[in-house]
Amino acid sequence: MNYRSIIFSAFMTSILGAIAGFSFTYIGQPDLELRRYQSEFYQTLYHRYPLLGAGLGFMVGAGFATVSQANKRRS
């Protein structure tokens, strides 16, 4: 298995996931004028979207590259 390819694919998809997280943060901003009774976790969840997107992108990219490498090796 080519681990360089797997790591590269994981980092590239984590960057794409972080960009998607930033866009979801922008799209899903709460209305700041409205008072809501939410716990602190949900009030700060919008700031964690880029990290969640990057982590999910890393996992998906590494998984996809691993499956692709295994499929090439099998053929």
The three-state DSSP-derived secondary structure of the chain is: CCHHHHHHHHHHHHHHHHHHHHHHHHHCCCCCCCCCCCCHHHHCHHHHHHHHHHHHHHHHHHHHHHHHHHHHHHC
Residue 25, domain extent = 3-29+38-74
Q: How many domains does the chain have?
A: 1
Question: pLDDT value at position 16?
Answer: 97
Q: What is the pLDDT of residues 30-42, one digit of tens each?
A: 666 666 677 888 7
Choose the weakest-confidence range: 21-25, 38-42, 58-62. Answer: 38-42
Mean pLDDT on 8-29:
91
The pLDDT of residue 33 is 66
pTM of the model: 0.80
Band (60; pLDDT cuts 50, 70, 90) = very high
CA distances from 2 to 7, 19, 60, 69, 71 (A): 9, 26, 17, 7, 13
